[in-house]
């Protein structure tokens, strides 16, 4: 199926115009850190489709992985990350994350972040697949919100940064194979073109594609979809990480229960309180997330249950509520007392590992377009992400990408006159299907077929069904966010299915029941997606390595 270049019809002479040096799409940890750094060199606009405080970062309970203890080492952090990444990490990028992480944490403290302390030092927790305690938390289980609040305050105090909240980016504008800004829509101001010398995508993941997710509703995969339409290459889209433990109460929104709970000693048990993870992995509850998630799904299936349970009843009285106040309050909403009751949990989509292909400075194959954070494929995570490395990536690579964007603007002529551009697409005469029903059905389809266990028949079914829906949705011209988001979701779902179908092996978070083992001779590389005149094509590219 041929892919549309732009989702709307437009004439540049008939929309409003805003000019800036750097445009940052997204207001989470990566976007704000990039904006703060880029602002050292010029004017910056940050767009967020919701309020600035409501990015996916704010929902991150876990922490920031950083080597702050003399008993730990940078090499150990690198080794842990590479091991979990199953051969697909870029060692140079991983080294940079681990080496710069401590400085970024200290910088956040200097900027006012309040991390948990113990005996006058930053308290360090242990999480799955880490060889040493190195997880920095805030208020026990509110690390993401503390970080994004600190960055938002810093950005607000920076005169050269403007935040455009409730501003939806419909498409990136390209001219002569260069990104020159974005088409946006604001409920109050209507359509505007934001012209920028450098554009940074930092707009999060695609967890909302899945019926079960820890992500907020805004995580609709906008970044990869925007980039793909603009000509950027996507990479590793088959790698979607599922968090093992989300509170499961029928009829309620799924809520994350941090990895740190198991790091503190919680058990995974059946309804009778019997542990089962030892049957699957020597590290039991502290195994990597993909191992724990698959084990839970297998155990639920074998025991004909709906959930398994977290057991913290052996914790000393008061310890759970003191260590995890947000989770304790969440449990209380459903009359669960963790000191007495088992907590029902099951896996949910949590983190998008793949995304827009970038190099070590965040550059894509489209001039003027950069990406960082969850919407990018930077090489930091490989086939599976080590717990608490995502906030770390946002802080470290956000700074690096922002610095490059600021420097690169100096090489490009600043203009105050928009180019003469227009785009017209004749909408399809087909009947429009109910978008709400399509979105709900798509989320169920992705959970069933693009979830923790995959196979060729399921993946082919997903492609067939999304192609059918796309005939009634992608050829329409919508005038509101829900329609554009649904178009982005259909695009990204198809990307995940095509990538997963191409990778005929199991590696990291990508598990195929018809190819249950790794095949390094054929698939030790990256699956890339390229948009052409005839639609999407996949290709397997060799590993890229940057010097450590």
d(CA 43, CA 409): 10
* Amino acid 239: pLDDT: 98
| DSSP bridge pairs for 207 | none
- From residue 158, alpha-carbon distances to 32, 39, 146, 218, 225 in Å are 11, 8, 19, 26, 30
* Amino acid 198: pLDDT: 98
* Amino acid 61: pLDDT: 64
* Amino acid 16: pLDDT: 92
**Beta strand residue intervals within 119-224, DSSP E:** 121-122, 124-125, 135-136, 161-164, 168-175, 178-186, 190-201
- The reply to whether 289 belongs to the active site is yes
* Amino acid 90: pLDDT: 97
d(CA 195, CA 179): 9
Q: Compute mean pLDDT per 10 residues along the chain, 548 residues long, and list them.
A: 82 93 97 98 96 68 90 98 97 98 98 95 91 92 90 97 97 96 95 97 97 94 98 98 92 84 94 94 87 93 94 96 92 95 96 97 98 98 95 98 96 79 82 90 98 98 97 91 98 98 97 97 97 89 71
| DSSP bridge pairs for 117 | 122
* Amino acid 59: pLDDT: 65
* Contacts (Cβ under 8 Å, ≥6 apart) of 413: none
Q: Which residues of 508-531 are buried (b: 16+ CB within 10 A; e: fewer)?
A: bbbbbeebeebeeeebbbbbbbbb
d(CA 109, CA 124): 15
CA 379 to mean position of chain CA atoms: 14
* Amino acid 252: pLDDT: 80
Residue 50 DSSP one-character state: S
CA neighbor of 107 nearest in space, from 144, 55, 154, 158: 154
Which listed residue (197, 235, 289, 363) is catalytic?
A: 289
Domains in the chain (CATH in brackets) are: 10-239+351-409 (3.50.50.60), 244-349 (3.90.700.10), 427-519 (1.20.58.100)
């Amino acid at each position: 199926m041929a892919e549309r270049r732009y989702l709307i019809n437009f004439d540049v002479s008939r929309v409003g115009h805003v000019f800036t040096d750097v445009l940052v799409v997204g207001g989470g940890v990566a976007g704000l850190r990039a904006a703060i750094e880029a602002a050292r060199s010029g004017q910056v606009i940050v767009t967020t489709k919701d309020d600035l405080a409501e990015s996916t970062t704010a929902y991150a309970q876990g922490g920031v992985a950083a080597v702050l203890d003399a008993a730990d080492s940078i090499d150990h952090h690198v080794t842990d990350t590479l091991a979990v990444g199953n051969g697909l990490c870029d060692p140079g990028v991983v080294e940079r994350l681990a080496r710069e992480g401590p400085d970024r944490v200290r910088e956040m403290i200097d900027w006012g972040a309040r991390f948990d302390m113990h005996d006058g030092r930053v308290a360090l927790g242990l999480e799955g697949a880490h060889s040493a305690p190195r997880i920095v938390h805030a208020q026990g289980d509110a690390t993401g919100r503390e970080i994004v609040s600190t960055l938002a305050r810093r950005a607000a105090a920076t005169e050269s940064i403007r935040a455009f909240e409730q501003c939806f980016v419909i498409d990136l504008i390209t001219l002569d194979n260069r990104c020159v800004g974005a088409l946006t829509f604001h409920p109050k101001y209507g359509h505007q073109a934001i012209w920028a010398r450098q554009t940074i995508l930092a707009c999060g993941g695609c967890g909302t594609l899945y019926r079960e997710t820890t992500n907020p509703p805004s995580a609709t995969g906008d970044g990869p979809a925007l980039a793909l339409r603009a000509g950027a290459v996507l990479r590793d889209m088959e790698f979607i990480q599922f968090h093992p433990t989300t509170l499961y109460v029928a009829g309620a929104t799924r809520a994350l229960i941090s990895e740190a709970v198991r790091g503190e000693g919680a058990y995974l048990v059946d309804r009778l309180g019997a542990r089962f993870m030892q049957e699957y992995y020597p590290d039991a509850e502290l195994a990597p997330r993909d191992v724990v998630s698959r084990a839970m799904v297998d155990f639920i299936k074998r025991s004909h249950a709906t959930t398994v349970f977290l057991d913290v009843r052996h914790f000393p009285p008061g310890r759970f509520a003191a260590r995890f106040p947000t989770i304790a309050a969440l449990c209380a909403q459903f009359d669960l007392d963790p000191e007495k009751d088992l907590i029902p949990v099951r896996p949910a989509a949590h983190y998008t590992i793949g995304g827009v292909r970038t190099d070590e400075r965040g550059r894509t194959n489209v001039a003027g377009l950069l990406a960082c954070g969850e919407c990018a494929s930077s090489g930091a995570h490989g086939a599976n992400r080590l717990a608490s490395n995502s906030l770390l990536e946002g802080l470290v690579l956000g700074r690096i990408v922002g610095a490059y964007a600021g420097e690169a603007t100096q090489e490009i002529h600043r203009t105050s006159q928009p180019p003469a551009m227009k785009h017209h697409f004749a909408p399809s005469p087909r009947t429009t299907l109910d978008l709400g029903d399509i979105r709900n059905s798509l989320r169920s389809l992705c959970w069933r077929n693009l979830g923790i266990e995959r196979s060729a028949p399921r993946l082919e079914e997903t492609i067939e069904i999304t192609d059918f829906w796309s005939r009634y949705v992608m050829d329409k011209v919508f005038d509101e966010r829900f329609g554009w988001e649904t178009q982005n979701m259909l695009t990204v779902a198809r990307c995940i299915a095509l990538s997963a179908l191409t990778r005929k092996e199991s590696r990291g978070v990508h598990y195929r029941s018809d190819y249950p083992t790794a095949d390094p001779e054929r698939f030790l590389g990256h699956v890339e997606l390229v948009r052409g005149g005839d639609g999407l094509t996949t290709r397997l590219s060799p590993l890229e390595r940057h010097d450590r």
